[in-house]
């Protein structure tokens, strides 16, 4: 084969679409209920947008970005996530002048240059929400509850919600210093990556999975024990609200998340059935992000879920989609009829918005019936020499096999008036 989809990308085929649409429909129904409005931002931005938001030191920026220079010499990058772009748009369009909070949702492809694996692609789809303008713990709760409701409606059982607070610019730096001090003497026991992290981004030490590092880090100070008064109170308030709504969570002091803009609440929904790419979605609070873009200080909290990964998990857990209904009309007509009244009927039905199809392949009646069956059409209209002579139209209900004859007017009234719900 000469050309294949580029490494780490996938075609989403017509047969995949029912599952995709199901996810999108469930997500958008929640957005409506929760009051989120859609925004679509460009698929690429100035690299700076991502460096400033996601973080210079993050893996995403360091080694996973698709960066390129356009013909005008602009340095751009395909978006590795969408919070940065949405935040940029928030400032650019003066959304801080709107009644707060401003609640936005998005969906679309993201790009990360990473080694592909099941559940990890170079182009993948995320759907996410952002709530700007409030520090109220209720807004953290809303975002988490939204995510949890989303997974519930898809039929997930047993997903785990990991929860942590990563502090704020008041309490995180002192904590990071403490961490450095404590870990420094044990430096020799750490993996090379962690030795580097100790310098650049000590928080990331915490979620290293190398066994040696975990041992070396035992008894290290926990961030949830070093939060400032504000952060501690905020975290408590979020937890209280989760309890109130009966949402189970697992406190995970090692949950750090790789995007540097997070402050306070960080959370992640984790699947047991997925191997190492187990995170189905996550998010948190980012109170300094808008300011980092030179916008007016504006807190925010948001989340994103990964479409392909959810689909994988649903398949593994045997979660079914709503069954496909029989729908529409297949016109099984002899050639002479199809050149005349069959053609007229076909477009009459289509103009009325019905799913209607006829044969272009010169099939026999038997083959057309089979085709109508496989194509999941509800009705077959059968036109042959005999029905033409008698001036009647045969219609067959494929669901039950019942068949009857109508005049043209009756047929139209039946198909258009009652749509396709009732039986022949």
- Tokens 């679409």 belong to 17
Least distance from RNA to the Cβ atom of residue 99, Å: 28
d(CA 129, CA 143): 8
Binding residue (CB under 7 A) for RNA from 11, 70, 209, 218: 209
221 to 240, contacts with RNA by CB under 7 A?
none
Q: What is the dihedral of CA 352, 353, 358, 360, to 10 degrees?
A: 110
Q: Which of 240, 272, 276, 407 binds RNA (CB under 7 A)?
A: 276
Q: Does 43 bind RNA (CB under 7 A)?
A: no
**C-beta closer to RNA: residue 74 or 363:** 363
Q: What gap in Å lies between CA 384 and CA 288, rounded to an integer?
A: 72
Q: What x/- string results for residues 358 through 387 when contact with RNA is judged by CB under 7 A?
A: ---x-xxxxx-xxxxxx-----x-x-xx--
| From candidates 26, 30, 31, 60, binder to RNA by CB under 7 A | 60
Q: Which range in 6-14, 17-25, 92-100, 407-415 contacts RNA by CB under 7 A?
A: 6-14
Contact mark string toward RNA, 124..163, x via CB under 7 A: x-x-------------------------------------
Q: Which is nearer to RNA, 191 or 237 (CB)?
A: 191
Q: Which of 28, 59, 341, 410 binds RNA (CB under 7 A)?
A: 59
Q: Which of 88, 107, 145, 204: binder of RNA (CB under 7 A)? A: 204
Min dist CB 94 to RNA, Å, is 27
Give me the DSSP letters along 6-37.
PTT-----GGGHHHHHHHHHHHHHHHHHHT-E
**Angle, alpha carbons 16-20-24 (nearest 5°):** 170
Kindly state whether residue 193 participates in binding RNA, applying the rule CB under 7 A.
Answer: yes
Map the footprint of RNA across residues 312-341, applying CB under 7 A.
334-335
Q: What is the Cα–Cα distance from 111 to 89, expressed in whole angstroms? A: 19
Contacting residue, 149, 210, 319, 343, with RNA by CB under 7 A: 210
Q: Does 352 bind RNA (CB under 7 A)?
A: no
Based on the number of CB atoms within 10 Å of its own CB, is 94 exposed (0-12), middle (13-18) or buried (19 or more)? exposed
Nearer to RNA by Cβ, of 210 and 237: the residue is: 210
Report which of 4, 77, 1 is spatially closest to residue 43, judged by C-alpha positions.
Answer: 77
Question: C-beta of 347: minimal distance to RNA in Å?
Answer: 21
| Stretch near RNA under the rule CB under 7 A, chosen from 24-32, 218-226, 346-354, 394-402 | 394-402
* Pick from 116, 34, 59: nearest CA to 303: 34
| C-beta closer to RNA: residue 243 or 411 | 411
Cβ closer to RNA: 312 or 354? 312
Phi/psi at 380 (5° precision):
-120, 130
Backbone torsions φ then ψ of 167, nearest 5 degrees: 75, -170
Tell me the HSE value of 361 on the side-chain side, using a 13 A CA sphere: 8
Residue 181 CA: distances (Å) to CA of 98, 174, 197, 225: 45, 11, 14, 16
80-109: contacts with RNA (CB under 7 A): 81
């Amino acid at each position: 084969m000469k050309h294949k989809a580029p490494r780490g990308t996938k075609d989403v085929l017509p047969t995949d679409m029912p599952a995709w649409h199901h996810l999108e429909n469930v997500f958008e129904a929640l957005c409506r209920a929760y009051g989120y409005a859609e925004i679509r931002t460009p698929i690429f931005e100035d690299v700076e947008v991502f460096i400033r938001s996601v973080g210079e030191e993050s893996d995403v920026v360091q080694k996973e970005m698709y960066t390129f220079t356009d013909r005008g010499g602009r340095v751009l990058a395909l978006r590795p996530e969408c919070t940065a772009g949405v935040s940029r748009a928030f400032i650019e369009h003066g959304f801080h002048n709107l009644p707060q909070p401003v609640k936005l949702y998005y969906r679309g492809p993201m790009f990360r240059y990473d080694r592909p694996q099941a559940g990890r692609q170079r182009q993948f789809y995320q759907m996410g929400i952002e709530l700007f303008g409030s520090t109220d713990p209720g807004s953290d709760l809303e975002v988490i509850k939204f995510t949890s409701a989303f997974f519930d409606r898809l039929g997930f059982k047993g997903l785990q919600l990991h929860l942590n607070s990563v502090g704020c610019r008041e309490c995180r730096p002192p904590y990071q210093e403490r961490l450095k001090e404590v870990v420094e003497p044990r430096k020799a026991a750490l993996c090379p990556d962690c030795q580097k992290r100790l310098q650049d981004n000590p928080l990331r030490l915490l979620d290293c999975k190398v066994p040696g590092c975990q041992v070396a880090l035992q008894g290290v100070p926990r961030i949830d024990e070093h939060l400032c008064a504000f952060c501690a109170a905020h975290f408590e308030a979020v937890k209280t609200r989760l309890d109130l709504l009966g949402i189970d969570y697992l406190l995970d002091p090692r949950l750090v998340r790789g995007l540097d803009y997070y402050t306070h609440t960080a959370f992640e929904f984790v699947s047991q059935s997925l191997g190492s790419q187990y995170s189905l979605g996550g998010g948190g609070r980012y109170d300094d992000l808008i300011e980092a873009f030179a916008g007016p200080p504006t807190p925010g909290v948001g989340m994103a879920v990964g479409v392909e990964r959810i689909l994988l998990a649903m398949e593994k857990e045997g979660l079914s989609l709503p069954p496909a209904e029989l729908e529409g009309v297949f016109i099984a007509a002899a050639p002479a009829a199809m050149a005349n009244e069959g053609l007229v009927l076909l477009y009459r039905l289509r103009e009325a918005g019905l799913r209607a199809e006829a044969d272009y392949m010169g099939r026999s009646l038997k083959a057309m019936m089979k085709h109508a069956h496989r194509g999941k059409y509800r009705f077959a209209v059968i036109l042959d020499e005999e029905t033409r002579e008698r001036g009647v139209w045969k219609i067959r209900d494929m669901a039950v096999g019942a068949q009857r004859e109508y005049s043209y007017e009756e047929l139209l009234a039946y198909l258009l008036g009652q749509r396709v719900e009732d039986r022949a």
